[in-house]
Amino acid sequence: DAPASRGDAVVLIVLDTLRRDRLSLYGYGRATTPAIDAWARGGLVFEEAMSTAPWTLPSHASLFTGLYPRAHGAHGYRGSEPAGNATPLDARFDTIAELAARAGVETGGIAANHFYVSSRFGLDQGFATWFAEGPRTGLSFGPLDAIAARAIPASVWRERHAYYEASHVTDLALDWLRAVGSRPFLLFVNYFDVHEPTDRPPTALAPLESERPLDEAADEEIAMLAGREPLDPDVVRYWSNNYDRELERLDREVGRLLAFIETSGLAARTTVFLTADHGEYLGEHGLVGHELDVHREVVDVPLVVRGPGIAAGRSAQPVSLVDVAPSVLERLGLALPPVEGAQQGVSLFGDEGEGAAAPELVAEWYPSASSMKLDPRLGGRFDRAIRVLRRGTLDFFVDDRGARMLFDRADDPGQMRDVAPARPDDVRALGAAFARWEARNAPAQDEEGRARAGVAAPLDAAELERLRELGYAP
């Protein structure tokens, strides 16, 4: 049993696609997250948390297993099928929910991102209660859906057809918490609202400026991704301002969940982890969206932990999402079993409230055959696996075509100047560190990018349409 000093319950909140530097908690100029900020003042704020991947499936699998994507294998693959997509998390890997359930802990999962955070991709393993579906019955025009999706304002369509917004997710979480009573529990909650910003009314925080969405009819996104056309400043403002408007709304609903935990008496025995699976490009490097690459806009994430016995403050210790799984289990009085041929995360908690994180952190991206990033019109720009190894202020990029880049965030926080040619000693040292990391993590997919344990069935037309509705495909 867990000692009373750390409680016997955990809530893991994942704010899908929330980049760290857009929270006022981390110094953003707009007050986007006042509710989260106020709650975080009573918790431990990690200032240098890094995701393991720039998109949902591999990063959530890392959160649940404490393994890097190379080791757990739940990521994109270059399948021969035109609808090839990604590999599910294999059942041979223990998840935090499975380990908790075996120990008699009540487990529940609620995922607004119902395509990838789903049973199809193995992320429901161990959850006794699992909700991951979209409100598809709210509005439907049958075979005319594709036309209606373009004709109806995006905010209405997405609320009624693609995913449940934050208010509904919070309601579900509150219902589950009220029902669980005094039993030990693990609750996972995924919010999806900032995943792809949509038209939101201007607010005092983010007033209307000269802004517009990408022109889909003119294939503007393809031209942008191919590097043929620079991003229109009006498009950048559209994405950036709507991102802040979505985040402002999301903060209120997350704040409602956090307030319930504090006022209901649950806080005395509950540890809350609040983080994101990845971030979002908002014009940086000429990009909008995510995946694509592993720059800090898509891999730097927030991480706040609040619970019994955890001293409030801020930590500059670099940590990874792989460190969340052992930390969740530690709060439940449990531990991750060792996995042969894999480097596992370490607990965030030590004598001073910080763990002994690995000296290097890694994030990875592997393309998938159905991704628009492999569109032939892009000339192969994104048809490569790319990883970044972080040590101190240095970010070392490696791709499977032999390219190497080095950025020093100390004097180049935007990662705009590749200093690899000028710093050969650092390149050699970090190249050796990367080789050691690869040796510690046996790949769960073979050299052709196919999972050793098999892949999900090719996506059918309905599933591809769901991907489009959620912003994953053109």
Full pLDDT tens readout for the chain, 474 residues? 445 578 899 999 999 999 999 999 999 999 999 999 999 999 999 999 999 999 999 999 999 999 999 999 998 876 655 445 688 899 999 999 999 999 999 999 999 988 788 888 899 999 999 998 776 544 443 444 444 444 444 444 444 456 788 999 999 999 999 999 999 999 999 999 998 766 777 888 888 888 888 776 567 777 777 677 778 888 889 889 999 999 999 999 999 999 999 999 999 999 999 999 999 998 888 888 778 889 999 999 999 999 999 999 999 999 999 999 999 999 999 999 999 999 999 999 964 444 455 679 999 998 876 555 566 676 667 778 899 999 999 999 999 888 999 999 999 999 999 999 999 999 999 999 999 999 999 988 654 445 444 455 566 667 666 666 666 655
Give the per-residue pLDDT at 468. 62
- Tokens found for residue 360: 């290097």
Give the per-residue pLDDT at 291. 80
Give the per-residue pLDDT at 138. 44
Q: Is 24 exposed, middle or buried (0-12, 13-18, 19+ CB in 10 A)?
A: middle
Give the per-residue pLDDT at 158. 46
Give the per-residue pLDDT at 115. 79
Give the per-residue pLDDT at 148. 43
9-469 in CATH: which number? 3.40.720.10
Give the per-residue pLDDT at 116. 84
Taking only Cα atoms into account, the Rg of the chain, rounded to an integer number of angstroms, comes to 21
Q: What global pTM score does this model have?
A: 0.88
Q: Domains of the chain: which residue ranges?
A: 9-469
